[in-house]
Structure 1
């Protein structure tokens, strides 16, 4: 029996890959994102991967998750069309680069509103229905940056740390409802367009530091959570190592993270200050991949020298 799956943030990156992955399984989909034209493209992609089906049931609902009542309206649309919701996936996220004191307050607040408060809103709406139904799965996408920190990404890091705390708290509250599950998928670096789409007040375009995973890998982890729900899943070869270094050797971590971020997490391409897609979607920049994986050799060229220089300054 096919499930009814809501995917919030389905227009790009992990959300778009996740929509395709559920379509391949024959699930009925409710796809939500800000850009109407992009949603139509994703619906067509889902129909294509299910070409053997006579009728692909995909509902698209243009949704700005930061607008009050938008998530409730999304749930109502799903129920009107399908009569139930089995899985709710929230992947919507935006990003901003800049030193904390130089990042406009309105940009910081909007990133937190999108990445943390809207995720909380999704959990609230989904749980209302799942508790009444007696079962259901909520899956959120966090980040390894919910366990560690990195300079120039204060709003995103604050959001992901907040999301980590929210999920753990709600999981404790759900112990009396074993058939209602809340899962958190924490990727490391992923090849998505979010870096190019980010607001930027730093002067250099961001990029995912290596090693970089494909969004389809994260999508598979999300789909797997439906069949085998887990409290938290880490996707990324270095996630455990980064968390260990942050916790066990905080002084060393703080010495190295700045040079490594500048060498590996920022490109050499300059940019003027801009808001990116934080407030308004950019359909032209939305895709499954961000085109970062082919550049891994270039990304790996500078880290060793950056680490060496940082250690020499530390020991000098």
Structure 2
């Protein structure tokens, strides 16, 4: 089998903005870019968690690290963020949008404010960020916007309606942006669609099911997603969504081509793979406010395969 040549190391000194940088895939991506000597701007709702992320990126070799505590779901936050980056660096080369919140519970029983905030964080957060940063990239005729979506941006599962709605809506925004930036060849909008990733989000999620949850097998390390993101920053793929997870294509195919069989199996399989015997009280988790002490790269579940790419 012919071996593919490794992707070239990107020239040091890019200005990379990572939104959702204090935990999980966002933090893993920030550390990966730091290892390349890039200038980093780390964004999160939690200034306390950002301090830890900043230290990790400096240790990894970032050229510079700035932190910005903003909730990207707020309408004016993205504009303030981009203005600050331009004042500091004069340009934006790469934006990685990973910020998300998760919720478990049926559409009928999840509180409306929790459902709406899960959706707003993904959909309006992406909208506000894109509207603020893409005109800046257009003026320079280059730049890469990477949105981290999900397998649940292509399928639905019971008791995860809020998250699926959020990710379907976000995917629609990102795909439309891919079409609307075709007139600017130097500006790329990329989509990454991870499956089950070992991050703290499962312990941070809103939960109105009465049962504790876990990520379904196979669980991958967030570094796997970070490796895909850094490759896309080097070599953007403008017109596709890049999956991360060995089972993703099979699940999407079943959802699209065998809907009756999919609907019959998805509920029982979800109970076996996701819901544990542990009992939990109803909680909004971190949907409305962060929990800095619970933010880190990894969750508490064993991973499948290698931790890196």
Would the TM-score normalized by the shorter structure come out above 0.5?
Answer: yes
Deviation string 1:180-232 (CA, Å, 9 cap, x unpaired) is 00000000000001111001111112211011110000001011001111132
State the partner residue of 1:85.
92
1:275 aligns with 2:296: no
Structure 1 unmatched runs, 5+: 297-316
Give how far 1:176 is off: 0.8
Deviation string 1:157-196 (CA, Å, 9 cap, x unpaired) is 0111112222221211111111100000000000001111
Q: Aligned-pair RMSD on alpha carbons?
A: 1.1
State the partner residue of 2:212.
205
Aligned counterpart in structure 2 of residue 173 of structure 1, from 180, 190, 203: 180
Give how far 1:293 is off: 1.6
Larger CA Rg, structure 1 vs 2: 1
Aligned counterpart in structure 2 of residue 226 of structure 1, from 215, 229, 233: 233
Q: How many pairs does the alignment contain?
A: 291
How high is the TM-score relative to the length of structure 2? 0.92
Give how far 1:68 is off: 2.3
Question: 1 CA distance for matches of 2:108 and 2:79?
Answer: 35
Give how far 1:66 is off: 2.0
Aligned counterpart in structure 2 of residue 135 of structure 1, from 137, 142, 149: 142
Question: 1 CA distance for matches of 2:98 and 2:52?
Answer: 18
Instruction: Show structure 1 runs of 4+ deviating over 4 A.
Output: none
Question: 1 CA distance for matches of 2:110 and 2:156?
Answer: 17
State the partner residue of 1:115.
122
Aligned counterpart in structure 2 of residue 66 of structure 1, from 65, 68, 73: 73
1:164 aligns with 2:175: no
State the partner residue of 2:7.
none
Contact kept? 2:105, 2:208, Cα under 8 Å? yes
Deviation string 1:241-263 (CA, Å, 9 cap, x unpaired) is 00111111111100110011111
Aligned counterpart in structure 2 of residue 18 of structure 1, from 26, 29, 32: 29
Give how far 1:11 is off: 0.6
Of Structure 1 and Structure 2, the greater helix share is in 1
SS at match of 2:181: helix
Question: 1 CA distance for matches of 2:88 and 2:212?
Answer: 42
